[in-house]
Structure 1
Amino acid sequence: MIRVATFEDIDDMVSVFIDAYNYTGPRDSVAKSMEISLKVQPNGCLIAFIDGKPVGMGCIFLYKKVAWVGLMGVKKEYQRRGIGTEIFKRLLKIGKGKTIRLDASSQGYGLYKKFNFTDEYRTVRYELRNRPLKKVEGVKELKEIPGWVEELDKEAFGDDRTRVLRLYLESGARLIGVENEGFGMVYRGRIGPLVAISRKIAEKIMLKAFLLRGREIIVPDANEDAMDLIKKFSPVELTSCTRMRLGDKVEENVHMVFGILTYAKG
């Protein structure tokens, strides 16, 4: 049985995620992520059960032009039974009429190719081992999302996801920026999104993020400046995905993206 997930299903969603992704971090961090996902897109997450046991899940987040698929996973014991394929088919129906994008792991890549998804570029998650802690001039912490942050994010991302950024801010993320030139978020040690008009501005924001305990970032390899910048901070690759799409190419400005929000939401 596959049905729409609710807040009452968060524990079951966490159990699927931990098993499917070999996750070894704190359980409460995953639970908080699932809570944010359900707030971002009510009715956007599906969960599969066999004999009353949660075995698989997947989510889709709808923006104006883009639909983003994430958190696809099936418990190892139940893989290769078509559960993930059926969940994915239902998500595609929800996102019909929009360009659908996702970050594919090596395990999911073959499935998405079967549905005619096109490769775009790699997204790589790094831990930054060298994080200098020093005072940064000109980067302010913001308590709300100003219009200039919305506009920079729309240009970089190619769509309006202000409600998602706002939910992260309400959930404890720290928002920092240089007015009209760039901004970043730090949430549970992760830096992202990090959007800037230049490498110089991106570096200033990253240094400020280190002071807020940021230590991980997901970088699109299509932005050469971003890939070059992180070399200064002793990056260690943790995971990598292939960004893929089904539908028209999105008018994003990836050269402004020095760090993406999450694999699940773009």
Structure 2
Amino acid sequence: MRAVNLIPSDGPHRGGGERASGGTYVLLGALAVAVAIVAVWTMTGKQVSDREAELARVEREAVTAEARVATLGPYTRFAALSRNRAETVSRIAGGRFDWAHALREVARVVPEEADLVSLTASAAPGGAQGGEAGPLRAALPVPAFDIVGCTSSQSRVAKLLARLRAIDGVQRVSLSSSEKADQASGTAETDCRTTEGRPQFQMTIFFRALPGAVGAPVAPGAPVTPGAPAAPVPAAGGGTP
């Protein structure tokens, strides 16, 4: 019998080609993965480099700003010192009391028949200038005058209180005493009751508080004549005693 070959002549060659194609695909896949890894690595490295460059730029700007601040430091301190001094001067100027104006007002309203034997000025309790403070001086921590004098009658003392309340800036007038002597026994320096029936008074004139000053309550039991709105001052010689 004659032998017949049933195996196709191209069979072995076709199997080898399929194996070769599979290896190529694996190689291409590995190459693609490697390319992707390299691309990701490159992008990450570029981002890191950009961030480092930005950080270096910010650090340089910070150093430059600090150097500029250090250069301008003396000017800043000088400006702050100038502001503080200006505020201090304004505060001192605003807290000064116009004693000259107050004295002119007192001289304007005191009538001719009244004689003053003492006038003591003080910007606050305990700071009397020119004599001793009156017993009611501590009632308010404001500028004040303590005056001692005489007039022709008790009604004249009451009118003097009303006139003093009309002084510009006065907030209160307190009468400490108003006494008559049984007989004339005074001297011009200590007691102005040179004639019988002539009362000697002692009173305190409180002015409005200076800016920033805090008021204090009136001392308990102090006889006080409350202040009144400013009004036209009557003539010094007017009225009937």
TM-score, with structure 2 as normaliser: 0.22
Greater strand content: 1
TM-score, with structure 1 as normaliser: 0.21
Q: Which has the larger radius of gyration?
A: 2
